[in-house]
Structure 1
Amino acid sequence: MNEQSKIWCPAIELNETSQNLILKAEVPGVEINQLNIHAETESISIAGIHDRHKSTAEKELIPSQLHYGQLQCQIPLPVKIQVEGVSAELIDGVLHITMPKTNVASAVNS
């Protein structure tokens, strides 16, 4: 199997505040325009591609531990989110996705 046919999922972290779920995914070397983020009320998926840009003059001395090729993962969420309020930004190779939770007012008043 060549590296372009491998599918990998980035390392992720999911945190929660009183109003949002915050997902962080390590995607070094991937540009935000190479990512497709699809949110649903109970899950979020990330897909994209990380191309290997190696000079023909480079010779690999040890097997690469970096992930190349297609990245894809779907993360089930512990609470429902407001899909229309989801935002994403890429900071220093880490994708930050902020997802507002639904029923925040009723959860706070409970």
Structure 2
Amino acid sequence: MPLEKWNPLRELETMRREMDRIWDDVFPSRKMGLPWKRQPGAQAESGAATPAIDVIDKNDSVVVKAEMPGVSKESIDVTLEDNVLTLRGELREESDLKEGNYAYSERNYRYFLRAISIPFKIRRDGIKASLKDGVLSVVLPKAVEEQTKKITVEVSGQS
């Protein structure tokens, strides 16, 4: 077996990868896939639920799908500011159970928030959101980037 020069940076990189794996196991919401995984705004505020999402990069748009079972469209707020898509809202569940002389009432209110950095310029006038079967779909059309235009320099009035 040939000797290999020891490199402390290699061991630090191995340790960093192992810590990332441990955090991904503890916080599954971190597993969003690049380029979204390590961008700021990808995690929710403390105390709020974080809906599971898929972010799909299509040729002309970015589609974000978020699981929101039981959430009504009226309680969902979708905003895009500085290329950060924010999904927020509240789920209210109320149930009344009556058994003989015993009445039982339970109310469950859950707040959710998810902020996702979008690494593309977005055309704001074409953004669409829909809710179907407990899945929120947000379509963000990509802005057409202007092509570089070559300008010909003309020579005028030689003296």
Q: Which structure carries more relative contact order (alpha carbon 8 Å, separation 6+)?
A: 1
Matched residue pairs, number?
93
Contact residue 40 and residue 83 of structure 1 kept, 8 A: no
Structure 2: segments with no counterpart, 5+ residues: 1-46, 100-107, 148-159
Structure 1: segments with no counterpart, 5+ residues: 1-5, 59-66
Larger Rg: 2
Percent of aligned pairs with the same amino acid: 28
Give, in whole Å, the separation in 1 of the partners of 2:76 and 2:131: 10
Question: Could you state the TM-score of these two structures normalised by the residue count of structure 1?
Answer: 0.75
Question: Could you state the TM-score of these two structures normalised by the residue count of structure 2?
Answer: 0.53
Contact residue 22 and residue 99 of structure 1 kept, 8 A: yes
Instruction: Report the 3-state secondary structure (helix = DSSP H, G, I; strand = E; otherwise coil) of the residue aligned with 2:66.
Output: strand
RMSD: 2.1
Structure 1 segments, 4+ long, off by >3 Å, are none
- Quote the offset at 1:57 in angstroms: 3.8
Structure with the higher fraction of residues in strand conformation: 1
Give, in whole Å, the separation in 2 of the partners of 1:29 and 1:7: 16
The correspondence for 1:97, drawn from 138, 145, 151, is 138
Summarize the alignment of residues 29-108 of structure 1 with structure 2, pairs less than 5 Å apart.
29-57=70-98, 68-103=109-144, 106=147
- 2:61 aligned partner: 20
Contact residue 41 and residue 82 of structure 1 kept, 8 A: no
